[in-house]
């Protein structure tokens, strides 16, 4: 049996690092090179330099490939791409193809995508990832994967120790992967909010953020230390040539999903509501090129400290 042809669409701050790791794996194992496309194809130059094959559009990737990865910004983009794939099926069968979406989308979007593709004989795997862009570049993401077991088994070799350090098996229901990812982001955003409030408290009272940073590292370990560092280093408002670790616009989208799902199920997320309000105001103040940790900037502003800390390199 000939080796599978793999395809990729979506070369943002997360997608490019992931696709590069996948292409390196394919090249090292003598497998066909990755076919890829993106809304702005020039963003894939590093991938082309690594041996990837650029394609003009998503439809071309679908036609050429057996397994197609997507890593895109929101639900609407995924729906548009799959509409294009389904249109392609009128001239080229989708039967047997596997579509893997690594994005963060609403559970209903995952379920709808799976249903539409199944009707054409294709398979959908929901595989959202945990980790920011440096983790993606290092190939250390955590994948939460849901879909038919045979399809998940088929794509596993291209993920484990290639793009990710581990896979969480979420079973067949693709909604579950999306729910876990959104729940995980509830934690991330809530950590950012609480850490921001604590750092503002430390600065206003004279305790100082350096002492608090050291305490967080010693008491809560490297994960919360890294989140705290995004605040204290000024990385919540990165310079124009540095991509945000978790872009504010994407965080707002995810929090909107979380709040909507919570309301549908009769519960509330007050910390997320506070963080969303602060992050929206941060985007108004600093524009779109900011990190989700920019809730800190708004918390500072509310306390009379000013949005920008001394360590910010962009004002």
Nearest to 5 by CA among 71, 57, 52, 72: 52
CB within 8 A of 19, min separation 6: which ones?
8, 11, 34, 36, 44, 47, 52, 69, 71
Place of tokens 């919540």: 236
Measure CA 247 to chain center.
9
Cα 234 to Cα 5, 137, 217, 227, distances in angstroms: 42, 22, 17, 12
Look up residue 240 and give its two tokens: 């124009």
Catalytic residue chosen out of the listed positions 140, 181, 204, 253: 181
Look up residue 304 and give its two tokens: 């009379």
Q: Is 314 exposed, middle or buried (0-12, 13-18, 19+ CB in 10 A)?
A: middle
Q: Is 313 helix (H, G, I), strand (E, B) or coil?
A: coil
For 169-183, b/e burial (b = at least 16 CB within 10 A) is ebeebbbbbbbbbbe
181 counts as catalytic: yes
User: Contact 134/245 with Cβ under 8 angstroms?
Assistant: yes
Residues in the chain: 315
Q: From CA 291, how far away is CA 279, in angstroms rounded?
A: 9
| Dihedral-angle region of residue 68 (phi above 0 means left; psi in -120 to 50 means alpha; beta otherwise) | beta
From first CA to last CA, the distance across the chain in angstroms is 57
Residues catalogued as catalytic = 181
């Amino acid at each position: 049996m000939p080796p599978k042809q793999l395809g990729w669409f979506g070369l943002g701050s997360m997608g490019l690092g992931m696709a590069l790791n996948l292409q390196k794996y394919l090249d090292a194992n003598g497998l066909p090179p990755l076919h890829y496309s993106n809304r702005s194809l020039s963003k894939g130059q590093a991938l082309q330099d690594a041996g990837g094959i650029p394609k003009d559009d998503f439809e071309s990737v679908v036609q050429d490939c057996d397994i197609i990865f997507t890593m895109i910004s929101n639900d609407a983009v995924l729906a548009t791409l799959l509409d294009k794939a389904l249109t392609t099926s009128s001239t080229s069968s989708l039967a047997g193809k596997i579509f893997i979406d690594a994005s963060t989308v609403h559970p209903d979007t995952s379920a709808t995508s799976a249903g539409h593709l199944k009707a054409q004989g294709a398979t959908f795997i929901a595989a959202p990832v945990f980790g920011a862009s440096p983790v993606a570049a290092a190939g250390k993401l955590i994948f939460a994967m849901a879909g038919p077991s045979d399809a998940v088994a088929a794509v596993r070799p291209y993920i484990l120790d290639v793009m990710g350090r581990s896979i969480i098996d979420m079973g067949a229901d693709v909604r579950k992967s999306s729910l876990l990812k959104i729940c995980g982001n509830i934690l991330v955003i809530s950590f950012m909010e609480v850490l921001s409030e604590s750092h503002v408290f430390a600065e206003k009272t004279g305790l100082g953020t350096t002492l608090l940073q050291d305490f967080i590292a010693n008491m809560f370990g490297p994960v919360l230390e890294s989140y705290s560092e995004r605040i204290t280093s000024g990385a919540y408002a990165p310079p124009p040539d540095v991509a945000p670790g978790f872009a504010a616009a994407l965080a707002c989208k995810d929090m909107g999903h979380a709040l909507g799902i919570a309301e549908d199920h009769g519960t509330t997320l007050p910390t997320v509501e506070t963080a969303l309000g602060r992050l929206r105001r941060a985007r108004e103040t600093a524009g779109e090129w900011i990190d989700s940790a920019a809730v800190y900037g708004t918390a500072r502003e509310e306390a009379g400290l000013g949005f920008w800390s001394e360590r910010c390199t962009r004002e």
